[in-house]
């Protein structure tokens, strides 16, 4: 009986030990200590800044064109009767320092016939007047008959004299001085009366015709300075705007702007040239274009002082591809303005500043026709 009791006690102890082990193995983990909330910690944006400059800013456009003869000096050589070209004695671009033969012509066959007819008509009119005079002296013609005959003779004489004085009866050699800008005819060609033969620039001066985008033409004014250079050359000469056309060139779909050059400008006719025009300029506060942000009320930018960003409302002035003139309260030369990272900023925000290594190019020219 005692043995059975001992076995029962051992079994109970073993069951209790197993139950305790089970409880220890499946005990719920102790709750972790709550972590401190980090919602109140705001990230500090990294920005790049550049100084506001007090400098001159210019807006420039670049246009292209060709060298032509000065419009006010151009003269057209022609003849008042039909003729045939015997010799062309010059070439376009040739400069004649003194009056020299330019072209040689002779009357065309039709002009020779007209001259012969004029001579015959004059002879007939002269004979008719003599007969009418004799009849008048014999009281066989009236004063009216004599007057009509005299008028016919005078008209025939005037026509014959005109043809002969114009050179319709001989070889004609036209002379001129200056710069030959254009030759419109070839040897042997029959030229109608009054048609252009040779175009001469009497003063020998040249000008430049530039093509400007119609959107930019309104900003170009008379006497504006233009730096002109040949497209394959680095040297340039200064000209001035002489005329701005009010008509779009149908070939290029651009506005023609004529620029006068100094007398010593050594540029050949029809040379391709490049012109740089300054169409706006100001001495003002200037920042890089990337510093200015558009918003619902216009434009704004951020300055940084003591690691704090401050928003400023601004208005814009002269602009080019890289820089812009600004006007606004609380702005001065030397202040650090945000040029990178400003899209993430709000007024009063703390920032981490990285200073830019370059400054705005306030006078760099813009490309002609580019939208500003």
209: pLDDT confidence band, cut at 50, 70 and 90?
Answer: very high
pLDDT at 146 over 70: yes
Instruction: List, in sequence order, the alpha helices (H) in the chain.
Output: 2-25, 109-137, 143-166, 214-217
CA separation for the pair 271, 288 (Å, rounded): 37
pLDDT at 105: 94
* Token representation of residue 158: 């005037």
Residues 6+ apart with CB under 8 A from 37: none
Phi/psi at 261 (5° precision): -115, 155
Give the bridge partners for 272, in sequence order.
66
pLDDT at 158 over 90: yes
Which H helix or E strand runs over 238? strand 237-248
- From 333, 364, 300, 339, select the one nearest 53 (Cα to Cα): 333
pLDDT at 63 over 80: yes
Average pLDDT over residues 169-178: 90
Neighbours of 47 (CB within 10 A): 23
pLDDT at 346 over 50: yes
Average pLDDT over residues 304-321: 91
| pLDDT tens by residue, 8-41 | 555 666 666 555 555 555 554 545 544 544 445 6
- Which domains does the chain show, CATH number per domain? 46-57+282-355 (2.40.420.20), 62-71+204-281 (2.40.30.170), 73-116+143-203 (2.40.50.100)
Q: What is the pTM of this model?
A: 0.60
Looking at residue 344, what DSSP letter applies?
Answer: G
Residues 6+ apart with CB under 8 A from 57: 281, 282, 284, 286, 317, 318, 319, 320, 323, 324, 325, 362, 363
Give the bridge partners for 228, in sequence order.
237, 275
Mean of all residue pLDDT scores within the chain: 84
pLDDT at 44 over 50: yes
pLDDT at 14: 67
Phi/psi at 297 (5° precision): -100, 0
Average pLDDT over residues 330-349: 91
364: pLDDT confidence band, cut at 50, 70 and 90?
Answer: very low
């Amino acid at each position: 009986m005692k043995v059975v009791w001992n076995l029962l006690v051992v079994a109970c102890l073993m069951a209790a030990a197993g139950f305790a082990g089970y409880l220890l193995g499946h005990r719920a983990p102790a709750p972790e200590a709550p972590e401190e909330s980090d919602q109140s910690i705001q990230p500090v944006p990294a920005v790049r800044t550049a100084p506001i400059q007090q400098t001159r800013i210019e807006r420039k456009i670049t246009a292209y064109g060709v060298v032509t003869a000065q419009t006010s000096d151009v003269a057209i050589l022609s003849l008042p009767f039909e003729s045939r070209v015997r010799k062309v004695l010059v070439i376009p671009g040739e400069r004649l320092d003194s009056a020299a033969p330019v072209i040689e012509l002779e009357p065309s066959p039709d002009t020779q016939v007209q001259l012969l007819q004029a001579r015959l008509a004059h002879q007939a009119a002269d004979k008719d007047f003599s007969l009418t005079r004799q009849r008048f002296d014999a009281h066989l013609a009236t004063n009216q008959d004599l007057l009509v005959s005299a008028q016919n003779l005078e008209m025939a004489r005037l026509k014959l004299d005109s043809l002969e004085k114009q050179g319709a009866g001989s070889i004609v050699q036209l002379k001129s001085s200056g710069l030959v800008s254009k030759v419109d005819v070839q040897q042997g060609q029959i030229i109608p009366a009054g048609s252009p033969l040779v175009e001469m620039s009497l003063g020998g001066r040249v000008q430049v015709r530039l093509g400007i985008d119609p959107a930019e033409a309104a900003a170009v004014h008379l006497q504006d300075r233009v730096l002109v250079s040949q497209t394959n050359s680095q040297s340039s000469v200064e000209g001035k705007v002489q005329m701005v056309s009010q008509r779009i060139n149908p070939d290029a779909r651009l506005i023609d702007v004529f620029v006068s050059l100094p007398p010593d400008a050594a540029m050949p006719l029809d040379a391709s040239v490049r012109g740089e025009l300054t169409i706006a300029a100001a001495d003002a506060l200037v920042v890089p274009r990337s510093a200015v942000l558009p918003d619902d009320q216009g434009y704004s930018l951020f300055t940084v002082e003591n690691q704090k960003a401050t928003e400023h409302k601004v208005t814009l002035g002269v602009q080019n591809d890289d820089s812009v003139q600004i006007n606004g309260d609380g702005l001065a030369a030397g202040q650090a303005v945000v040029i990178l990272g400003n899209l993430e900023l709000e007024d009063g925000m703390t920032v981490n500043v990285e200073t830019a290594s370059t400054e705005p190019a306030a006078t760099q020219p813009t490309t002609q026709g580019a939208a500003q």
